Structure 1
Amino acid sequence: MAERVEALFRALKERIVVIDGAMGTMLQSYGLGEAAFRGERFADHPWELRGNNDILSLTQPELVAEVHRKYLEAGADIIETNTFSATSIAQADFGTEGLVHEINFEGARIAREVADAFEPIRFVAGAIGPTNQTATLSPDVNRPAFRKVTFDALVAAYREAVDGLVAGGVDLLLVETIFDTLNAKAAIYAIERYFAETGRRLPVILSGTISDASGRTLSGQTTEAFYNSIRHARPLAVGLNCALGAAQLRPYIAELARISETYVSVYPNAGLPNAFGGYDQTPEEMADLIGEFAREGFVNLVGGCCGTTEAHIRAIAEAVRGLPPRKIPQIDRKLRLSGLEPLNIGKDTLFVNVGERTNVTGSARFRKLIKGGDYEIALEVARQQVENGAQIIDVNMDEGMLDAEAAMT
């Protein structure tokens, strides 16, 4: 593994590295029915399995291997494991949460076996999706404080996936399609715990998703706020994928290229979905756009997401061949914070306002509200601080007669 990781580092210094395209799009092209998803092993499974692409690593491993092979033949340097939804949280929708380690292990093993048959050296990224739950947003508009999943549950789910991926032979971990940064932080924490407990460390790529023309993730962050939130993980690369096509992603990938202290990746959808949910952008059209990204010095890794096939990857690989990779810029040292917006504090920053009224030891009113469980009114105290110009809010629940952890959460 160490030799392959070193080879990946060398490749990133020398050229633009190509990631594969959509696994789901390729698998859908086979027109698989329920019986194919079940295979012999799950013929009597009580839940419907069609649509659970990850289970195909157990029931149709030859098809998964064929997709990997097609992408490698098209020029991909990195293939992603067929494990986008292979967490206990996502697999619970199919009643297969007990198979998570095996799904991740087999997904990695299949990809490893295919990649090792190619020269020059190719790499396997363990794909870790966002799950189908969000730790930041409530699924119930009538209960804004409700969460269907906890941070600790996400950490446990991600850790199980990481165990299987690494055991199966991946070279790096790819946390992708990040629509909720708190979910991503749970993934980062799970990965770091794995590294600390096993003594093994792999490169990590973190890829966010700008949801629409607002330029924000689903949980509300701008590109720079997202970057500030995850830069502490010191990833090999930070990037954007999914939701938008290359044309729509252009301003956000340009911003990321300007501010990122590490490599930058992008693998957009094949344009925007049509009225039927399909994607119409041709390989040539997509490759032209990504070729522009490369010529303007935006990217170090490129590939495709929803709607892309081996034809798209072949065209993209050709479009960036021979073009120099983005040079990592020298970034001024600053304190980089974020909420929904970034806050960067450097040597030339003027006075920064810190709101101190959301503090149970400094505000008798706030303390009374928290002790009485009047959190909605207490939130108004915070809102007033922001409206009055606070750029940072000091939230302190440390008081002897208060369950500080419960009050904070």
Structure 2
Amino acid sequence: MTAATRVSALREALAARVVVADGAMGTMLQAQDPTLDDFQQLEGCNEILNVTRPDIVRSVHSEYFDAGVDCVETNTFGANLTALGEYDIAERIFELSEAGARIARETADEFTGRDGRPRWVLGSMGPGTKLPTLGHVGYGTVRDGFQANAEGLLGGGADALLVETTQDLLQTKAAVVGARRAMDALGIDVPLLCSMAFETTGTMLLGSEIGAALTVLEPLGIDMIGLNCSTGPAEMTEHLRHLARHSRVPLLCMPNAGLPVLTKDGAHFPLGPEGLADAQETFVREYGLSLVGG
């Protein structure tokens, strides 16, 4: 299957049915106890594992495909200018993005080769650690960093770009524009998905409400909009209701399994698999979601 054929099939699937994505990446990687050497002494920089321990990253993708998902996200949530800048390796954006996409692409193709069923790769573009609205970083600077991130993902074989967990609308715009510039530079056109993170207060981190977010983002030419992370399904209901009524593009949702509860063994997500699945089924029925995950 050629890249163009895969992307066309993804667009058709998103228009015709509910496409199922994967769940958490970081906790799955941590469960395999990577060493400080695996992180090249940059503890917690999960994207480094794309080059030092691709076997670990590949095993996570494989577990999700074994569970039956249609697509997986790349291990590139922090492969951006500000996040990698915290480790003084911002010059590795393209390298780590490309490596993460390539691992996911190879794993997806392996599973497709077994039964012919298409599997897709969503290129994860996380928010980074700086907020341009607050002057932490310049808009042009962060936009160009996201372009390098997207170019690496596309070079590695991503079938779509997912700008996710966004907390600042100016940062979100920088990521979307950077992704568009990457597609233009490479002559590649893939779906561009945008997923926001809303706090329990009902707004994004900097106070933007869902109507403002939709008004800002929809004209940028995104193919899909929705929410992920931060909260569970209950806290996302009103936001999804607004999007279902007013959005002109399809919707996605990848919630946590409820709000985490701190226990003696660490954070526990109360819904569990069945509870999260039930919530997503309700969202699909009531709000017409096209893409779900966790």
Equivalences, count: 285
Q: CA RMSD in A?
A: 1.4
How far does residue 200 in structure 1 lie from its aligned partner after superposition?
A: 2.2
- Equivalent position of 2:97 in the other structure: 104
- Equivalent position of 1:115 in the other structure: 108
How far does residue 283 in structure 1 lie from its aligned partner after superposition?
A: 0.5
- Which amino acid in the other structure matches residue 249 of structure 1? M
TM-score (norm 2): 0.93
CA distance in 2, matches of 1:162, 1:297: 29
Are the aligned partners of 2:151 and 2:183 in contact in 1 as well (CA < 8 Å)? no
* 2:273 aligned residue (279, 283, 291): 283
Q: Does 1:199 align with 2:191?
A: no
- Equivalent position of 2:38 in the other structure: 36
- Equivalent position of 1:244 in the other structure: 231
- Equivalent position of 1:308 in the other structure: none
Q: Does 1:6 align with 2:8?
A: yes
- Which amino acid in the other structure matches residue 12 of structure 2? R
CA distance in 2, matches of 1:69, 1:121: 14
CA distance in 2, matches of 1:88, 1:215: 28
Unaligned runs of 5+ in 2: none
Where has structure 1 moved over 6 Å in runs of 4 or more?
none
Q: Does 1:149 align with 2:137?
A: yes
CA deviation profile, 1:213-241 (whole Å, cap 9, x unmatched): x2111121111110110101222210100
How far does residue 121 in structure 1 lie from its aligned partner after superposition?
A: 0.5
- Which amino acid in the other structure matches residue 281 of structure 2? G
How far does residue 244 in structure 1 lie from its aligned partner after superposition?
A: 0.3
CA deviation profile, 1:60-82 (whole Å, cap 9, x unmatched): 10010010011111121111110
Which stretch of structure 1 is more off in the superposition, 242-251 or 273-282? 273-282
How far does residue 297 in structure 1 lie from its aligned partner after superposition?
A: 3.6
CA deviation profile, 1:156-212 (whole Å, cap 9, x unmatched): 111111111111111110000010010011112212222333332221000011111
Matches within 5 A, 1:8-407: 8-38=10-40, 48-119=41-112, 120-137=117-134, 147-212=135-200, 214-275=201-262, 276-304=266-294
Are the aligned partners of 2:81 and 2:142 in contact in 1 as well (CA < 8 Å)? no
Are the aligned partners of 2:260 and 2:270 in contact in 1 as well (CA < 8 Å)? yes
Are the aligned partners of 1:254 and 1:298 in contact in 2 as well (CA < 8 Å)? no
- State the secondary structure of the residue aligned to 2:133: coil
* Distance of aligned partners of 1:32 and 1:235 in 2 relative to their CA distance in 1, 3 Å threshold: same
- Which amino acid in the other structure matches residue 279 of structure 1? F
CA radius of gyration, larger in: 1
- Which amino acid in the other structure matches residue 255 of structure 2? P
TM-score (norm 1): 0.67
- Which amino acid in the other structure matches residue 216 of structure 1? T
- State the secondary structure of the residue aligned to 1:266: strand
How far does residue 99 in structure 1 lie from its aligned partner after superposition?
A: 1.7
CA distance in 2, matches of 1:82, 1:13: 26
Unaligned runs of 5+ in 1: 39-47, 138-146, 305-409
CA distance in 1, matches of 2:186, 2:154: 11
CA distance in 2, matches of 1:105, 1:7: 22
- State the secondary structure of the residue aligned to 1:98: helix
Q: Compare the two structures and name the one with the higher helix fraction.
A: 2
- Equivalent position of 1:386 in the other structure: none
CA distance in 1, matches of 2:269, 2:91: 34
